[in-house]
Amino acid sequence: MTSLKIGINGAGIGGLAAAIALRKLGMDVTVYEQAPRFARVGAAPTST
Ligand SMILES: Cc1cc2nc3c(=O)[nH]c(=O)nc-3n(C[C@H](O)[C@H](O)[C@H](O)COP(=O)(O)OP(=O)(O)OC[C@H]3O[C@@H](n4cnc5c(N)ncnc54)[C@H](O)[C@@H]3O)c2cc1C
């Protein structure tokens, strides 16, 4: 597969999961995050 340069906006769980998956496929991925620092938001993982 051709290596693409990919930009992902947002280092949330979705952006980071996509970045990991795309890097495993050999893509050149850069994640851009607007927040000045990382911080915990929720309390615990849940599923319904
Ligand atoms: C108050 C609160 C509490 C929660 N508690 C829980 C919990 O206890 N358990 C649970 O399972 N889920 C919880 N959730 C839900 C969970 O946070 C979301 O489902 C999950 O974070 C969504 O992931 P995401 O990657 O789609 O988006 P997000 O986590 O929102 O990530 C998006 C990222 O993109 C960045 N961004 C946005 N626009 C730009 C831009 N233009 N350029 C660069 N970066 C950008 C944002 O700063 C953010 O970091 C909670 C949500 C909230 C709001």
Question: Which pLDDT score, from 0 to 100, does residue 3 have?
Answer: 81
- For 12-32, the pLDDT digits (tens) are 999 999 999 999 999 999 999
In angstroms, what is the span from residue 32 Cα to ligand 1's centroid? 14
Question: Which pLDDT score, from 0 to 100, does residue 24 have?
Answer: 97
Residue of 36, 45, 37 whose CA lies nearest to 13:
45
Residue 1 has pLDDT above 90, yes or no: no
Buried/exposed 8-34: b ≥16 CB within 10 Å, e otherwise: beeeeeebeebbeeeeeeebebebeee
Which residue among 8, 41, 46, 48 is best mutated to probe the pocket of ligand 1, counting the most ligand atoms within 8 A of its Cβ?
Answer: 41
Residue ranges of the domains in the chain? 1-36
Q: Pick the more confident residue, 3 or 20.
A: 20
Q: What percent of the chain has pLDDT over 90?
A: 71
Q: Does the C-beta of 43 come closer than 6 Å to ligand 1? A: yes
